[in-house]
Structure 1
Amino acid sequence: MPFRQNVLITGASSGLGEEMARQFAALGHDLALCARRTDRLATLREEILTAYPGVRVVTKALDVTDDEQVFTVFEEFRAELGTIDRVVINAGLGKGAPLGTGKHHANRQTAMTNFIGALAQAEAAMTIFRAQNSGHLVMVSSFSALRGLPRQMATYAATKAGVAHLAEGLRVELHGTPIAVTVLYPGYIVSEMSEGATTGNRLMSSTTRGVTAMVSAIEKEKARAYIPAMPWTVLAPVMKRAPVPVFKRML
């Protein structure tokens, strides 16, 4: 696999994005990090530069629901670093409520961030990659994308299925070209988004373990990967094929 020197990560101020930045820096990658919380990005930048003085780290504010800002920030990163070799579309939101319960605003916000925002990021990344005729697009989906989920997870799961299909379509289009596409399907991993769901959950992975599996799959440029592989690779067929009465009891 080619060494993708300059890695752009969205949603890098916390959770999976923050830990990915640390682990990519440890591998010698230069970083373009963006998120809304620039104070946290600044702290992360200083931490990485102290640990890995030879790594370049550029940070910028980014709200992924602002299409114009997405295109501007991605291009600014490209101009500053010379190339963008890999884009990890990681920024996301986990708000949600059962449909028809008066909380459309929460579901809409999740849909706008997770899908429309990801669409803008993919557009911006692919604009750069097509011009370079090289690059690696990484879409962080979710294990929940494998099947529609009920209640407060319905919209979230739908958005993650949407981004996975977006990436899968790009992979077919780009097959045989110098542009690679990876879709990650994380299971339960400790992060800000999973806060409150960790107690008593034996399937929950630590942030470090989960992100190590993510970074490994990304570095290998796998087409798709369940994260961590165990137990989620084994559970994937069950998730997809269990009859509805059985599936409902599992949740």
Structure 2
Amino acid sequence: MKVDGCNALITGASAGIGCEFARQLAARARSMILVARREDRLVELADELQREHPNLRIHIQKVDLANLAELQDLLQWLDREKLGVDLLINNAGLGDSGPFANSDPVRNSEMTLVNVTALTSLTRHLVPQMITKHRGGILNVSSSAGFLPIPGSAVYA
């Protein structure tokens, strides 16, 4: 898919790879939805991108993807706003390590919600409109650690 003129949604956009995806896409995208937990960092990034690319439409959504209610709110917001997302970058991710027997069940659940449920829900929600428009791309960012049987990474891998 050509990214020129795309309407991109980037999860985990407040730092690291997600932030860099936003910076790299800014010159070519029509609009961006930046999604992350840390609103202050999203605002800083949006301000930076807007200064450098005044024609870029930027929306920020403070969402904790480990919270099902917040994920559902994001999906409903996308339906209301009708922004025509045609590039989805599933970048948000959580990791943890240590003996599984001592792991925190809440943290395990949060990892599964962010790394699997949110990614699957966003993808399933946006794919039908991409098919209808005959335009769309999805990039799922993952770690090679997710494919390796590493001691101490039972839930992550």
Pair 1:49 & 2:53 matched: no
Task: Please say if residues 7 and 29 of structure 2, whose CA atoms lie closer than 8 Å, have aligned partners that are also in contact.
Answer: no
Structure 2 letter corresponding to 1:37: R
Identical pairs, percent: 30
1:49 Cα deviation (Å)? 0.8
Aligned residue pairs, count: 153
Write 1 or 2 for the structure with the bigger share of helix.
1
Q: Which moved more, 1:135-144 or 1:55-64?
A: 55-64
Q: Which moved more, 1:127-136 or 1:9-18?
A: 127-136
Q: CA RMSD in A?
A: 2.1
Matched residue SS, 1:23: helix
Counterpart for residue 109 of structure 1: 110
Matched residue SS, 1:156: coil
Counterpart for residue 145 of structure 2: 144
Counterpart for residue 72 of structure 1: 76
Name structure 1 gaps, 5 residues minimum. Answer: 158-251
Change (3 A) 1:102 1:141: closer
Q: How does 1:138-177 map to 2 (within 5 A)?
A: 138-151=139-152, 153-157=153-157
Matched residue SS, 1:58: strand
Change (3 A) 1:12 1:76: farther
Q: Which moved more, 1:31-40 or 1:44-53?
A: 31-40
Structure 1 letter corresponding to 2:100: L
Name structure 2 gaps, 5 residues minimum. Answer: none
Query: What is the TM-score normalised by the length of structure 2?
Result: 0.84
Separation in 1 of the partners of 2:32 and 2:126? 15
Task: Please say if residues 3 and 29 of structure 2, whose CA atoms lie closer than 8 Å, have aligned partners that are also in contact.
Answer: no
Q: How does 1:183-202 map to 2 (within 5 A)?
A: none
Pair 1:126 & 2:130 matched: no
1:76 Cα deviation (Å)? 4.2
**Higher relative contact order structure (alpha carbons within 8 Å, sequence separation ≥ 6):** 2
Structure 2 letter corresponding to 1:68: Q
Change (3 A) 1:28 1:68: closer
1:46 Cα deviation (Å)? 0.7
Separation in 2 of the partners of 1:17 and 1:33? 9
